[in-house]
C-alpha cells in the first residue's frame, strides 16, 4: 500500500510544483469535492492532493494536447505505456544520442505519448520547447539516460492508482475550464505567464494575457468559487512577473521555493519566493474550518510585504495540520 508521503511524479517537467506542493497544500481545504488544475503540466498538486486523499475528484487540463494524451495513457493504460517506455529506454542503449534524434523526429510527425515521455525523460531540464514550426526542438541531456524503466513503471502505476476513476482530462484553453467550474470546486492555477516553463515558444498555445486572466479571476470571485494562484515571485531583490491587483481582494502569501542555482554558482545564496494568492472565498473557508485562526496575519490588499517571511512562519503555525498530514511526523 502507498503512504501519504509516497508521491509519484511520472512526468518530468520543468516548472513542476513538486517541491513546494506540500507547502501549497497547507493553504487548501482539508476536504475538497473536486480539485481542478486548468494549467496542470505534470499535475504535481493534483498528485499530492490525491496521495493525501484530500479530494473526491480531479480535473486535469492543459492546453498542450500531447501532454493530456500522455496523462490519458498513464491513468488508463499504465501497463502499456510503461512497457513502451521500457522498450524505448532499452533500445537506446549504446546509441543514446542518435536515438533521441530519431524519437524526436518521429514525435514531431505523430505526437505519440510514449515518445513524448521518453523525450521529456531525456531532454535538457525536462523542458518542453518547440520551434516556430511547432516542432519539439529541445536537445538530450547526454549525462542522463532518463529514469530506469522499473522506476518509471512504479511511478506510472502509482499515479494511475491515485487518479483512475476520479479524473477528468481535457486539453482546453483555461478560460473554458473556468467557465465550467462549479461552486464546490477548488481551482489551483499555475499559469505560464512569468515564463517559468522555460524559454519555450508558446505560440502553439492560446495566450495567457495578464489583464484577461485578472478578469477571469474577478468572475470566479463573483461566482464565489474558491481558487489559489501561483504567480509572481522574487529571487533576492530581483522580482519577476506582475503582482495580481488589489481589486481582486486576494490574500497574498510568499512560499519559499528554494535557492537559485544561478546565485549559488555566483557564490550568493539568494532564495526564491513565489507568491501564492488565495481567493477571499478560500481564505474564508480556511478560517471557518479552523485551519487558520483569527490572529493569523494575512497580507490584505494594500498592506506591505515587510516581515513577510516571519509572517509566513506565523501563518504556518496557526494552521491546524490536516488529519492526513499529521501522520507525517
Ligand atoms: C507553469 S506550467 C504548470 C506546471 C504545473 N504546476 C506542474 O506542477 O507541473 C503552465 C502550464 O500551462 C499550460 N498552458 C499554457 N497556456 C495555457 C492556456 N491558455 N490554457 C491552458 N493551459 C495552458 C502549459 O502548457 C503549461 O503546461
With cut-offs at 50, 70 and 90, classify the pLDDT of residue 12. very high
Q: Which of 41, 40, 38, 57 is nearest to 49 (CA)?
A: 57
Q: How far apart are CA 124 and CA 269, in angstroms?
A: 24
Q: What is the pLDDT of residue 5?
A: 74
With cut-offs at 50, 70 and 90, classify the pLDDT of residue 315. very low
Q: What average pLDDT score do residues 212-241 get? A: 94
Under DSSP, the state recorded for 206 is: -
**Which CATH number applies to 71-155: 3.30.420.40, 3.40.50.300, 3.30.950.10, 1.10.1020.10?**
1.10.1020.10
Name the pTM for this structure: 0.87
| Residue in 59, 187, 205 to alter for ligand 1 test, most ligand atoms within 8 A of Cβ | 205
Q: Where in the chain is the domain with CATH 1.10.1020.10?
A: 71-155
With cut-offs at 50, 70 and 90, classify the pLDDT of residue 240. confident
Strand pairing report for 251-259 and 271-278: antiparallel
Between residues 244 and 315, which one has the greater pLDDT?
244
What atom in ligand 1 is closest to the CA of residue 40? 5
Between residues 82 and 315, which one has the greater pLDDT?
82
Question: Mean pLDDT score of the chain, rounded to an integer?
Answer: 85
Distance from residue 167's CA to the centre of ligand 1 (Å): 17
Q: What average pLDDT score do residues 157-166 get? A: 98
Q: How far apart are CA 46 and CA 59, in angstroms?
A: 9
Q: What is the pLDDT of residue 235?
A: 86
Residue 46 above 60 pLDDT? yes
| Residue in 24, 62, 116 to alter for ligand 1 test, most ligand atoms within 8 A of Cβ | 62
Residue 62 above 50 pLDDT? yes
21-64+168-328: which CATH topology? Rossmann fold (3.40.50)
- Residue 79 burial class via C-beta count within 10 angstroms: exposed 0-12, middle 13-18, buried 19 and up: exposed
pLDDT tens digit sequence for 168-190: 999 999 999 999 999 999 999 99
Residue 314 above 70 pLDDT? no
Ligand 1 and 10: CB distance under 6 A: no
Ligand 1 and 233: CB distance under 6 A: no
What count of Cα atoms within 13 Å lies in the side-chain half-sphere of residue 112?
17
Q: What is the pLDDT of residue 271?
A: 87
Ligand 1 and 206: CB distance under 6 A: yes
Residue nearest to atom 1 of ligand 1 (CA): 192
Ligand 1 and 277: CB distance under 6 A: no
Cell numbers representing residue 187 in the block? 481551482
What atom in ligand 1 is closest to the CA of residue 42? 9
Ligand 1 and 193: CB distance under 6 A: no
Ligand 1 and 171: CB distance under 6 A: no
What atom in ligand 1 is closest to the CA of residue 18? 8
- Residue 229 burial class via C-beta count within 10 angstroms: exposed 0-12, middle 13-18, buried 19 and up: buried
Ligand 1 and 200: CB distance under 6 A: no
Q: What is the pLDDT of residue 267?
A: 65
Amino acid at each position: 500500500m502507498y503512504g501519504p508521503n509516497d508521491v509519484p511524479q511520472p512526468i518530468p517537467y520543468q516548472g513542476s510544483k513538486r517541491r513546494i506542493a506540500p507547502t501549497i497544500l497547507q493553504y487548501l481545504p482539508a476536504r475538497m469535492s473536486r480539485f481542478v488544475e486548468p494549467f496542470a503540466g505534470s499535475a504535481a498538486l493534483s498528485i499530492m492532493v490525491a496521495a493525501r486523499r484530500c479530494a473526491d475528484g480531479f480535473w486535469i487540463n492543459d492546453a498542450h494536447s500531447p501532454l493530456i494524451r500522455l496523462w490519458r495513457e498513464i491513468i488508463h493504460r499504465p501497463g502499456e505505456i510503461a512497457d513502451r517506455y521500457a522498450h524505448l529506454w532499452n533500445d537506446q542503449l549504446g546509441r543514446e544520442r542518435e536515438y533521441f534524434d530519431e524519437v524526436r523526429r518521429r514525435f514531431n510527425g505523430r505526437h505519440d505519448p510514449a515518445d513524448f515521455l521518453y523525450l521529456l525523460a531525456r531532454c535538457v531540464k525536462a523542458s518542453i520547447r518547440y520551434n516556430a514550426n511547432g516542432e519539439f526542438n529541445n536537445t538530450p541531456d547526454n549525462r542522463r539516460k532518463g529514469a530506469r524503466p522499473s522506476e518509471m513503471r512504479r511511478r506510472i502505476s502509482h499515479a494511475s492508482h491515485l487518479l483512475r476513476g476520479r479524473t477528468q482530462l481535457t486539453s482546453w484553453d483555461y478560460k473554458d475550464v473556468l467557465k465550467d467550474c462549479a461552486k464546490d470546486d477548488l481551482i489551483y492555477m499555475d499559469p505560464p505567464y512569468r515564463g517559468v516553463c522555460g524559454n519555450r515558444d508558446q505560440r502553439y498555445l492560446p495566450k495567457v494575457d495578464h489583464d484577461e486572466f485578472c478578469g477571469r479571476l474577478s468572475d470566479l470571485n463573483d461566482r464565489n468559487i474558491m481558487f489559489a494562484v501561483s504567480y509572481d515571485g522574487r529571487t533576492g531583490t530581483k522580482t519577476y512577473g506582475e503582482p495580481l491587483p488589489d481589486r481582486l481582494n486576494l490574500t497574498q502569501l510568499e512560499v519559499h521555493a528554494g535557492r537559485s542555482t544561478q546565485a549559488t554558482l555566483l557564490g550568493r545564496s539568494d532564495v526564491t519566493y513565489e507568491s501564492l494568492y488565495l481567493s477571499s472565498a478560500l481564505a474564508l473557508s480556511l478560517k471557518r474550518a479552523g485551519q487558520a485562526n483569527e490572529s493569523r496575519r494575512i497580507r490584505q490588499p494594500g498592506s506591505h510585504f515587510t516581515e513577510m517571511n516571519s509572517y509566513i512562519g506565523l501563518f504556518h503555525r496557526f494552521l491546524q495540520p490536516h488529519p492526513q498530514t499529521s501522520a507525517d511526523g
